[in-house]
Amino acid sequence: MSIKKNVLFVGSFKDECKDGGFGGVMFACSSLVQSELSQYYNWILIDSSSVSVPPPNVVIRSLFALKRMSKVIYSLLFKKVDVVLLFLGAGTSFTEKGTMALFGKLLRKKVIIAPISGHLLDEIYKINIKSIFIKWVMQSSDVVVCQSSTWLNIFSEKFPSKETDKYVIIENWVDYRVYASLNSRYSENKRYFLFLGWIDEKKGVFVIIEALKIIDSVLPKDVVFYFAGSGADVDNLTRKIEQYNLLNRVEMLGWVKGAEKLKLLGKTEVVILPSYVEGYPNTLVEGMASGNAVIGSTVGGIPDLLENGRAGLIIKEGNIEELAKAILYFANFPEKVNEFALIGQKRVRDYNDISYAIKQFKKIL
């Protein structure tokens, strides 16, 4: 019987966010730990979930970061760690986890990092101390998990390596079986278009409302828009909906999760995410897995997921007119909804099911 490797895994392992949501990073980390990988690896888990949304002040965040860092150092020194696996974002997240990665390399451990934030692009292309630090971490790590081919191309161009297996594509994953059987959308007299995620300007929520303002008078009356989520701009968005007299067209649902979210995805026809910044959004993956057509923007790994327009409609981020046309396209041609939905669902089944991710992680851990 082979001896299991000890993997120090720093990521998000809570059951839900403080406000009841369940983020893509939480699912990604927890699903790996709960998968068959546990037959081959012993997990040493250090949770790095945010304690609140929005985050607390810098002093409190620093105290939590120091606590996590002390746990990492203790584990590296006294727990016979073989591999360090770090899910890291941008900003302070990258600074903290990047420091952990460098400390792991100092102690001759295998270090695997998985950058997950679209905001990291801004930091990579700036010329300052932070970009130098990012380069140091990237080049020091043994493996960099890339969310899509776009991310792989960016990383390999900015941080070239002689190692051919340094950059590995593992796209965000879901349990495809959970979503594939959802099919209740045609049992109602309404047709639902859905935004699912943080209610935040950077997610493009106001772009959706501005597009609806333009096309409301010509949009079929049975088309209803759901906004499912919470965030800093809930009140501003609600006021905008009222200002544009869209109360009969738009419903604010708050966070949905678990069975409630699955039911919502099951009766939706189109999922919309016109973000200004993204890495590789789980919202669109879940929407496609559920048999929805999707509309996304030209940021991060979205064009890769949507196969440059083959598996979903793509608009330029912030372009209200393009989004309005995309919404009308799906609203007026239901057969196109079905056509894109079938392509997207197959795409997720082939490349975004958790079974595929597990195979890839077995190769790199």
Find out whether 176 and 349 touch, Cβ atoms under 8 Å: yes
> At 241, is the secondary structure helix, strand, or coil?
helix
Enter the pTM of the model. Answer: 0.90
Q: What pLDDT score was predicted for residue 189?
A: 80
Query: Taking each helix axis from N to C terminus, what angle separates 282-289 and 24-33, rounded to the nearest 10 degrees?
Result: 70
Closest to 286 measured CA to CA, from 174, 118, 172, 148: 174
DSSP assignment of 280-324: S-HHHHHHHHTT-EEEEESSTTHHHHTGGGTSSEEE-TT-HHHHH
Q: What pLDDT score was predicted for residue 3?
A: 82
What class is the 5-169 domain? Answer: alpha beta
Tell me the sheet residues that pair with 297. 315
Percent of the chain whose pLDDT exceeds 70: 94
Q: What pLDDT score was predicted for residue 122?
A: 85
The identity of residue 319, as a single letter, is N
The identity of residue 130, as a single letter, is K
Cβ–Cβ contacts within 10 Å for residue 76, how many? Answer: 19
H-assigned helices in the chain:
24-33, 58-78, 92-106, 120-125, 129-140, 149-158, 176-180, 205-215, 234-243, 258-267, 282-289, 302-305, 320-332, 334-351, 354-364
- Would you say domain 176-351 falls under CATH 3.40.50.2000? yes
* Euclidean distance between CA atoms 222 and 278, whole angstroms: 31
In SS3 terms, 250-272 reads as EEECCCCCHHHHHHHHHHEEEEE
Which residues have a Cβ under 8 Å from the Cβ of 303 and sit 6 or more positions away? 150, 296, 309, 314
5-169 and 176-351 in the same fold: yes
The identity of residue 175, as a single letter, is D
Q: What pLDDT score was predicted for residue 14?
A: 77
Residues of the chain with pLDDT under 50: 18-22
State the chain's maximal CA–CA distance in angstroms.
Answer: 68
Enclosing H/E stretch for 45: strand 41-47
pLDDT tens across 69-90, in order? Answer: 999 999 999 999 999 999 999 9
**Domain range summary for the chain, segments of one domain joined by +:** 5-169, 176-351
- Chain centroid to Cα 132, Å, comes to 26
- Token pair recorded at residue 63: 């105290």
pLDDT tens across 219-248, in order? Answer: 999 999 999 999 999 999 999 999 999 999
* Euclidean distance between CA atoms 128 and 163, whole angstroms: 26
